[in-house]
Amino acid sequence: MRRQFEFAIVVMVVAVLALLVMQALERVRTQMEEAGVQTEAAAIRAQLMEVVAHREVFGGQLPASENPFDWVRGRPANYIGAVDRVPTQESVWYYDSVSKELVYRFRNGELARFRLSRMAGDSGVRGVIGGVGLLRLDNP
């Protein structure tokens, strides 16, 4: 009887520890996904600065589109294009053609929203050149 009681205690302790480890791993996964979004946004900003710098040096027009991916060459593999409503897929980039925002949809359903700004001016915001930048928006 005593062994069964000890075994039950060990099983409960292991179950609690496994639950704590799974929760910690989920937090780390979410943080890694956020870091990936920030890295991709930084790459988009760098490409936008390249487009503006090229225009400043050689002249010409900036793209008329409000979709940052129409300005740059590189698109992430998980970009699904311009849509008019939130897609059902998770871990994807898309351009919301209604709100004119570039959006990343996390696995947990949360959204990271960005807007191409042509009037960022000399705001002191990093990644802005010639008034053009990619600004992260707060979620409502």
| Residues of the domain holding 75 | 1-137
Beta-carbon neighbour count of residue 116 at 10 Å? 23
Question: Alpha carbon of 21 to those of 17, 24, 30, 33: distances in Å?
Answer: 6, 5, 14, 18
pTM above 0.75, yes or no: yes
Q: How many domains does the chain have?
A: 1
Instruction: Give the pLDDT of the chain (140 residues) as one tens digit per residue.
Output: 788 889 999 999 999 999 999 999 999 999 999 999 999 999 999 999 898 888 888 888 888 899 999 999 889 999 999 999 999 999 999 999 999 999 999 999 999 999 998 775 555 555 566 678 888 998 76
Q: What is the DSSP string of 85-127?
A: S--S-SSEEEEETTTTEEEEE-TTS-EEEEEEES--TT---TT
Q: Measured on CA atoms in the order 45, 137, 112, 27, is the torsion positive or negative?
A: positive
